[in-house]
Structure 1
Amino acid sequence: MSEGKVLKKREEINEEYKWKVNKIFSTDEEWEKVFESLKKEAPTLKSFEGKLNNKDSIKEFLDKYVELGKKAETIYVYAHLRSDEDTSNGKYQGMMNKVDAYMAEFSSFTAYFVPEILEQDESKIRDIINNNEELKLYSFMFEGILKEKPHILSKSEEELLASASDCLDAPSAIHNMLTNADLKFGDIVDEDGEKVELTEGNYSTFIKSKDRNVRKTAFETLFNKYKEFENTLATTLSSSIKSYNFSSKIRKYNSALEASLKPNDIPVEVYKNAVKTINDNIKSLHRYVGMKKKLLGLDEMHMYDLYIPVIEIEKDHIEFNRGVDMILEGLKPLGEEYLSVFKSGINDGWIDIYQNKGKRGGAYSWGGYETMPYVLLNYNYTLNDVSTLAHEMGHSIHSYYSRKEQPYIYAGYTIFCAEVASTTNEALLIHYLIEKEEDKKKKLFLINQELEQIRTTVFRQLMFAEFELYTHESLEKGIPLTAEDYNKAWHDLNVKYFGPEMIVDNEIDIEWSRIPHFYSDFYVYQYATGYAAASAFAKSILEGKEEAVPKYLKFLKSGGSDYPIEILKASGVDMTTSKPLEATIERFNELLDMLEEEI
């Protein structure tokens, strides 16, 4: 397929370039038929309420729950995939809306399950599960439920808290509306001397502009507008943090951090050690800033110079099949078994490759237990698209193995593990591309690509994590935080992280106010830990360490059959130590050495 300037309609794309969603349901009529049968059968799940006190009723409920859960998931996935093919297709939008509305009703049929189990004597439940061969499969699931018992409130308290959830989530909704809908940043002059409106959407383009004045103006214009609303934004963030602290306190956790980590059995020390390890190695980032300043030929390095590429190369037009071949070469260290799964995914219709009118943007990997692990792409012939394909196929092969090896209840994996497989693929690919590249300029470009990925995914996210820890701990101690406090903390962190070669412009002080992740408590550190785990896997695989590949495949096959720390540990990556993160920093330093050699 040649790159066309006019975006094609869905029906104009060759079938060979589309995912095979018809392998889920051959027709929309078949989907309707199965959906109707689910709606008739699903209410039977309610008939078990008040009866989950013996092995037979528990076994019967779980069998029915798994059977109908798989059916509901498959119906849901089909409607969404079809809708994403062309978001302007009214028929599929209608199907998606219909199934979305139904899923809330479906989940209500089993809402009594966890409270009913927790109302009973723990030893009795353990006895039923562990002493019946047919139920032993569910022992980890039930242990997870019972572990939460100290943090579950009475039925009336839970209902009260659920009814207040919209109010508790209000700060996030307000922040979203203010920053995405109401804030207007005004106009700036672009590289061509044209007046254009600055938005959150196009800011990322302007901050990478080769014209220093353009990126400086965009930087100052954006952050000065946030500065005008600093008191409102500080109050909104404080309110959000107070909500998390309130919830963790009434659920009898020692802190909001513990409340966030404990359900997945992640020790609080994993979070704090990650922040400490990055602080212990912060001079590596200082060195990178100094080298970037030198490469850009700047007398002064400002915050608005951070995102500009240090090396410019001509864009290489990479046809999809060549991109696949590049990835297969890069992933060779993973062995034939992994490569054969990758090839079958390409050939069997996992991937929807090219853009078409109305198609959802971006890229993702998704599917259900009984479907293929589909990949949505908008392939546009760039190296970045090749990297995206490697990333999303990492997710899909992780899902493929998890669903193949695990029962339905353990086939999903936690967010803590979710980015490991995708990032391992990216790490192996870029390592291969750097090693084989002979053109000096292209090699520098690739080295800088990986350095930027580590800077933004590891250093930056752990800076976010450190800020989050400060804000939560301050408010937990009853110390009120004003816009001035947030600004100072953010400024000081930037000074610490970027070092003496960086001029930390005052405008950056308000940057905390535009980051939506701070409204999802203690989420961002998982980007860094996921990258660190992937770095550790990639390092041992590339070094050809004994059992490195079998251990990695074991990780992919584990799904959610244990807590994430234990799954990774069993495959040779111990996230309770600093070693995985140190492996990432070692790679960062190695890349800096390579960069220094080349310039």
Structure 2
Amino acid sequence: MSDQLQRSDVSAHEKWDLTHIYADMSQWEEDYERAQALSREAAAFQDNIHDAEGLLAYLKLDEQLSFVYEKLFVYASLKQDEDTRVTEAQAYLDKARSLGVTIKSATSFFRPFLLNMEKETLDRYIAEEQGLDYFKKDLYEEFKYKPHVLSKEKEEVLSQLGEVISVPKTVFGMINNADIQFGEVTDENGNKTTLTRGMYSRILESHNRERRAEAFKAYYKPYVGLKNTIASTLGASAKNNVLFSKMRNYESPLQRSLFADNVPVSVYENLIQTTRDHLGPMYRYVDYRQKRLGLDELRVYDLSVPLVEDFELEKPYDEAYETMLAGLAPLGDEYINGLKQARTSGWIDVRETQGKRSGAYCWGPYGTHPYVLLNHNNTLDSMFTLAHEMGHAMHSYLSDAHQPRISAQYTIFVAEVASTVNEVLLIHYLLNHSTDAKLKRYLVNHFIDTIKGTFFTQVMFAEFEKIVHEKAMRGEALTADSFSETYESLFRTYNGEQVVLDPELKYGWSRIPHFYNAFYVYKYATGIASAISIATRILDGDQETVQSYLTFLKSGGSEYPLELLRRTGVDLLTPEPITGLLSLFDRLVGELEST
């Protein structure tokens, strides 16, 4: 830890500038007091909205309150992530969280009030008060939930059950993050050391097979030991989803989950079926991997080893940024100029420093600009992370610049499209501008493994969730054995019979946090399929796609996600985007096989 940089060691142009949100903490405190006052004003509207004028007054106040709170919360979060050891920053974040609870309580009356209103009354209010036009789309959007809202008394009971309902997810989180104790493994020097998650992923990429096998066993051992406890949390989570879907008059938990995005169940089912129909290239890749590694049999812990040995490419941050700009040039001057502005205007926090939050993300309040957290370490992977996060940043930047606050926020369904388009464009640029055969083979392998992890694995997870919830709907037992039987069968289907399955593998379901946010992971798969469709046409020089894609980035959440994507030429109601990705995967495997 001592060799890590201190924040004070990093030059100003490689740190984000949070003064763009608040010049100092006194301004934060002023907004905090303001938000508290606005919250009290919002609460006073309960039972006091009787006409169009009153409705408009509340909605304007609510938007103002939401705007101020977003700034407070984002600032406190970003400040804490600079150095998670600073207790003052944690205190401000705690204050912001408490304020959020207060605001939620103060405004919780409005949705039941609106949904108890007759549509004719809302029509009349909107006709009478021109200012309501701004809120009209969102107001009518709420009405689609009317068949799924219960009586006021029942809704109050459900709201009070919120903490109880979240117990399965909370318990699993405590098990997975606080209580799990992994076994010991042998380090590079032959000494025994306790395995960590970060160490596990690195060891699985090691060319020392004995270490990989040892790490695999040590990683899965606590999950196998807790299989029945974790099965009870996952089973309870699925049963909760079934219960509340029934109570709210949805056909299934899946339909309930897709309802907000206006996505038909057929999109989910089409994703699974189309993928199942085109698994041949995946089996070929697994065969190639076994031959390339020179193994008599392929095990699960052999699936992450890079197929190009001893390959390292140093990419310092400035060089990585220039390479990214060159790779994304097909998107045009407006996009590239935005990226150049981000680099010099305090958007990006570049370096790994002591106490800084790990990983990478993009976030920012409306009315300022996006902020990007990186932990850049000059590797090729760091460059792809940079391109990925800047895709999110430009999506938010262009959306905020062209949409009013009410429609600027895009949904999770389309969030990964912009980031993945950047990655695809960058990898094609590197492939087309390299004469190093080893680098090209590494990049093709990287691309294949990206698709494998972001698409095939997520579709497998999506099918697992679907089967589990269908069992719950039929009242079948949800036990460790039933989960394991389903998971092992799906793993064989999606990875091929040639992978020899260690007995621990079937408990893979027990380590996936996403399963407690049901029917979420499929969006990773539709996201990468959509991005590959768009990027492929851009690389073919289709200027119409470039323009429609930029329009998509500027559209925020102004339409449902399927409609936004359809305007870019991606129709997820058909199999084409999925088959397009699968065809690309087939070609990439062919390229690898020919080397």
Report the TM range for the smaller structure's normalisation: over 0.9
Counterpart of 2:390 in structure 1 is: 393
Aligned residue identity for 2:405 = Y
Give the superposition deviation at 1:53: 4.0
**2:380 corresponds to which of 373, 378, 383:** 383
The question of 1:505 aligning with 2:502 is answered yes
Post-superposition Cα deviations, 1:25-82, rounded to whole Å, max 9, x if no partner, equal 2222222223223323331122322233422112222222222221221122222222
> Whole-Å Cα distance in 1 between the matches of residues 71 and 524 of structure 2?
29
Moved more, 470-479 or 127-136: 127-136
Contact 1:74 1:370 in 2 (8 A): no
Q: In structure 1, what is the equivalent of residue 215 of structure 2?
A: 218
1:23 aligns with 2:16: no
- Quote the residue 2:307 is aligned against: 310
CA distance in 2, matches of 1:269, 1:129: 35
Q: Is the contact between residue 53 and residue 129 of structure 2 (CA under 8 Å) also seen in structure 1?
A: no
Residues 130 and 383 from structure 1, CA distance in 2 versus in 1: closer, same or farther, beyond 3 angstroms? farther
Residues 183, 221 of structure 2: 8 Å contact kept: no
Equivalent residues of 1:311, 1:441 under 8 A apart: yes
Out of 427, 432, 435, the position equivalent to 2:432 is 435
CA distance in 1, matches of 2:217, 2:419: 35
Letter in 2 for 1:515: I
What is the deviation of 1:5? 7.9
Counterpart residue type for residue 299 of structure 1 = D
* Offset of residue 546 of structure 1: 4.3
Distance between the aligned counterparts of 1:238 and 1:37, measured in 2?
Answer: 44
CA shift in 2, pair 1:356/1:130, >3 Å: farther
Contact kept? 2:38, 2:61, Cα under 8 Å: no
Tell me if structure 2 keeps the 8 A contact 1:188–1:195.
yes
* Structure 2 match to 1:454: 451
| TM, length-normalised to structure 2 | 0.97
Cα displacement (A) at 1:131: 6.5
In 2: Cα distance, 1:90 partner to 1:255 partner: 45
Q: Which is further off, 156-165 or 35-44?
A: 35-44
Q: Please tell me the root mean square deviation across aligned C-alpha atoms, in Å.
A: 1.7
User: 2:527: which partner in 1?
Assistant: 530
Q: Which residue of 2 aligns with 1:409?
A: 406
Match of 1:122 in 2: 119
**Whole-Å separation in 1 of the counterparts to 2:493 and 2:14:** 48
Identify the range of structure 1 (80-89 vs 446-455) with the bigger mean alpha-carbon deviation.
80-89
Q: Give 2:421's aligned residue.
A: 424
- Aligned in 2, Cα 1:573/1:478: closer, same or farther, shift over 3 Å? same
What is the alpha-carbon distance in structure 2 between the residues aligned to residue 75 and residue 179 of structure 1? 30
2-side partners of 1:324 and 1:180: how far apart? 34
Unaligned runs of 5+ in 2: none
Structure 1 position 327 matched with structure 2 position 331:
no
Contact 1:70 1:369 in 2 (8 A): yes
Contact 2:347–2:372 (Cα < 8 Å) also in 1: yes
| 1:575 aligns to 2:572 (yes or no) | yes
Q: What residue in structure 2 maps to residue 336 of structure 1?
A: 333
Aligned length: 595
* 1:18-97 alignment, distance < 5 Å: 18-97=15-94
Q: Show the counterpart of 2:273.
A: 276
Work out which of the residue numbers 157, 160, 181 in structure 2 matches 1:160.
Answer: 157
Residue 54 of structure 2 aligns to which amino acid in structure 1? S
2:110 to 100, 110, 113: 113
Residues 421-430 or 37-46, more deviating: 37-46
Q: Which of 548, 551, 554 is equivalent to 2:548?
A: 551
**Quick check: 2:43–2:106 contact (8 Å CA) kept in 1?**
yes
Q: 1:52 to 1:24 in 2, by over 3 A?
A: same
Change (3 A) 1:579 1:102: same
Distance in 2 (alpha carbons) for counterparts of 1:54 and 1:184 = 59
Asked if the contact 2:52/2:128 (under 8 Å) is kept, the reply is no
Tell me if structure 2 keeps the 8 A contact 1:38–1:71.
yes
In structure 1, the residue corresponding to 2:509 is in which secondary structure?
helix
* Structure 1 position 292, deviation (Å): 1.1
SS at match of 1:419: helix
Please give the per-residue CA displacement for 1:277-297, whole angstroms capped at 9, x wherever unaligned.
110111111111111112111
Partner SS state of residue 131, structure 2 = coil
* Aligned-partner Cα distance in 1 for 2:111–2:398: 28
CA distance in 2, matches of 1:110, 1:233: 36
Query: Which whole-Å deviations, capped at 9, do the CAs of 1:518-541 have from their partners, x for residues lacking one?
Result: 111111111111111111111111
Deviates more, 1:405-414 or 1:308-317: 308-317
CA distance in 2 between partners of 1:6 and 1:338 (Å): 37
Q: Secondary structure of the residue that 1:381 maps to in structure 2?
A: coil
Quote the offset at 1:248 in angstroms.
0.6
How big is each residue's C-alpha offset from its partner over 1:409-452, in whole Å with a ceiling of 9 and x where there is no partner? 11111111111101111111111111212111111111100100
Deviations 1:461-518 (A, max 9, x none): 0000111111100110112132222211111111111113322232211111111111
Give the Cα separation in 1 of the matches to 2:147 and 2:395: 33
Distance 1:357 1:223, change over 3 A: closer
* Contact 1:293 1:300 (C-alpha < 8 Å) held by counterparts: yes
Distance in 1 separating the partners of 2:75 and 2:479: 47
State the SS of the aligned residue for 1:547: helix
The whole-number CA distance in structure 2 between the counterparts of 1:527 and 1:130 is 41
Q: 1:477 aligns with which of 465, 474, 477?
A: 474
**In 2: Cα distance, 1:539 partner to 1:475 partner:** 41
Which one is further off, 73-82 or 509-518?
A: 73-82
Worse-matched range after superposition: 406-415 or 164-173? 164-173
Corresponding residue for residue 232 of structure 1: 229
Aligned with residue 256 of structure 2, among 256, 259, 262? 259
Residue from 169, 172, 182 that aligns with 2:166: 169
Shift of 1:15: 1.5
Judge conservation of contact 2:80–2:86 (CA < 8 Å) in 1. yes
Query: Per the alignment, in what secondary structure is the counterpart of residue 8 of structure 2?
Result: helix
The separation in 2 between residues aligned to 1:163 and 1:325, in whole angstroms, is 52
Q: CA deviation at 1:222?
A: 2.8
Greater CA drift, 307-316 or 199-208: 199-208
**Higher deviation after alignment, 290-299 or 86-95:** 86-95
Q: Is the 1:494–1:504 Cα contact (8 Å) retained in structure 2?
A: no
Aligned 8 A contact 2:39 2:102 in 1? no
Tell me whether 405-414 or 271-280 shows the greater mean CA deviation.
Answer: 405-414
2:344 aligns with 347
| Alpha-carbon shift at residue 314 of structure 1 (Å) | 3.7
Partner of 1:360: 357
Distance 2:172 2:26 in 1: 42
Query: CA 1:298–1:355 in structure 2 vs 1: closer, same or farther (change >3 Å)?
Result: same
CA–CA separation in structure 2 for the residues paired with 1:480 and 1:131: 56
C-alpha displacement at 1:132, in angstroms? 4.7
Distance 1:390 1:7 in 2: 24
Q: Does 1:467 align with 2:464?
A: yes
Q: Measured at CA, do residues 559 and 184 of structure 1 come closer, stay the same or move farther in structure 2, by a change above 3 Å?
A: same
For 1:138 and 1:540, how far apart are their aligned partners in 2?
36
Misfit runs of 4+, over 4 Å: none
* Letter in structure 1 aligned against 2:86: N
> TM-score by structure 1 length?
0.96
Distance 1:398 1:153 in 2: 37
Query: Taking structure 1 as reference, are residues 137 and 114 closer, same or farther at Cα in structure 2, changes over 3 Å only?
Result: same
Aligned-residue sequence identity (percent) comes to 39
Distance (Å, rounded) in 1 between the aligned partners of 2:204 and 2:353? 29
Residues 140-151 of structure 1: pairs in structure 2 closer than 5 A: 140-151=137-148
Counterpart code for 2:242: N
Give a deviation string over 1:310-330, Cα, whole Å, max 9, x none. 112442222211111100111
| 1:109 to partner: Cα distance | 2.2
**SS of residue paired to 2:527:** helix
